[in-house]
Amino acid sequence: MEALEEGDFCFPHINNSCRWLKRPEVETTLIYIVLSIIILLTVVLNLLVIISISHFRQLQTTTNLLLLCMAVADFLVGLLQMPLLLLHNQGCWLLGDVMCAVHYFLGFVVISVSVGSMVLISVDRYIAICDPMFYTTRVTMARVKFCVFMCWICSLVHASWILGDFLKRPNMHNSCHGDCVVVVNFAEGIVDLVVTFLGPILIIVILYSRVFVVAVSQARAMRTHVAAITLGRPEKVKAEKSEVKAARTLGIVVVVFLLCSSPYYCFAVAAETNLVGASSAGIEIWFLYCNSTLNPVIYVFFYPWFRKTIKHIVSLQILKPGSGKIQVL
């Protein structure tokens, strides 16, 4: 990165103004092109997931409602968080202190909702695979809606507590005018690490360990009783395979989350204080946000129904009367 030059101020008419971060023009252009593509993919793909589950009645299941919750959070990351982070990429925040507070507050909320959704999905898959006889009675649409509602409420409360002082004085840690930095003290940073990373990951790993053990047992049982398939039980076997495939796909989603979020949380642990700003943690935050881009990509590759619904949406067939009732599974 080139040295800062005098006169390159964010607000030339204001004393104590921050200065633009100077990069080679080719590097700047390349960065903006790549990040713009990531933003576009995040918004479009998650919007397709939202439209698919909302429009097609066959997809309006308890599991897909949790996927919808995650897609909404990921969509907000692409629509609101990524563009603002891109604007801050050159070191100047031009939108004022209030928008700075809103930017980080929404960031904490949507990431917490996304993580919470993965935990709920893990619980859903655990019950579906390990206790299928009671799945329909324990996992009802009303209970799932309540869990989604509480996921958003708890995320709002968590973000409000973590950023309490910052929301009152958004510029309290700014070193110059035009900066946008939030500092979370050590104790609050540890709580955030446990609540939004270590705790959920521990729960998910424990649940999925049990799920995969049972899934392997089911796979062996299906291979052992091939004869039963020809005697009138193909639908049951097909359903069991579908449940196992869903668990495997959502397991991949969790692995991708680990890969994307680990750099950010490792940065938080390594620092004495959890300093979140474009100048110090920009790359780590982009990795964290890119998880919202990869989630719908995984759906495209592993969920045939998503590929079918994309064709209906892109071709505008969803505008036809009764299109929501068509078979997509």
Indicate the domain borders of the chain: 25-325
Nearest to 251 by CA among 113, 118, 65, 120: 118
Nearest to 88 by CA among 187, 20, 17, 158: 20
Q: What is the pLDDT of residues 268-327, one digit of tens each?
A: 766 544 444 444 457 888 888 999 999 888 876 777 888 889 888 988 888 888 888 888
Alpha helices in the chain (DSSP H): 25-55, 62-76, 82-87, 96-130, 135-138, 141-162, 164-168, 186-193, 199-224, 226-229, 234-270, 278-302, 304-314
When computed from its CA atoms, the radius of gyration of the chain, rounded to whole angstroms, is: 23
Placement of tokens 């592993």 in the chain: 302
Structure tokens at 215: 């899934």
Cβ pair 265, 200 in contact under 8 A = no
The CA distance from 118 to 120, in Å, is: 5
Segment 160-167 shows an average pLDDT of 89
The CA distance from 45 to 296, in Å, is: 6
Backbone torsion region of residue 151, taken as left when φ is above 0, otherwise alpha when ψ lies between -120 and 50, otherwise beta: alpha
Nearest to 35 by CA among 83, 79, 77: 83
Confidence at residue 280, expressed as pLDDT on a 0 to 100 scale: 46
- Partners of 17 in the beta sheet? 177
- Partners of 177 in the beta sheet? 17
Percentage of the chain lying above the pLDDT 90 cut: 29
Could you give phi then psi for residue 74, rounded to 5 degrees? -65, -35
Confidence at residue 245, expressed as pLDDT on a 0 to 100 scale: 61
25-325 — its CATH code?
A: 1.20.1070.10
Please tell me whether residue 182 adopts helix, strand or coil conformation.
Answer: strand
Please tell me whether residue 9 adopts helix, strand or coil conformation.
Answer: strand
Please give the angle made by the CA atoms of 103, 33 and 43, to the nearest 5 degrees.
50
On the question of pLDDT at 242 being above 70, the answer is no
The CA distance from 180 to 129, in Å, is: 46
Let me know if 117 is exposed, middle or buried by CB neighbors in 10 A (0-12, 13-18, 19+).
buried
Tell me what the pLDDT averaged over the chain comes to: 82
Cβ pair 94, 180 in contact under 8 A = no
Cβ pair 148, 65 in contact under 8 A = yes
Neighbours of 223 (CB within 10 A): 8
pLDDT band at residue 187 under the 50/70/90 scheme: confident
Q: What is the pLDDT of residues 126-160, one digit of tens each?
A: 888 888 888 888 899 999 999 999 999 999 999 99
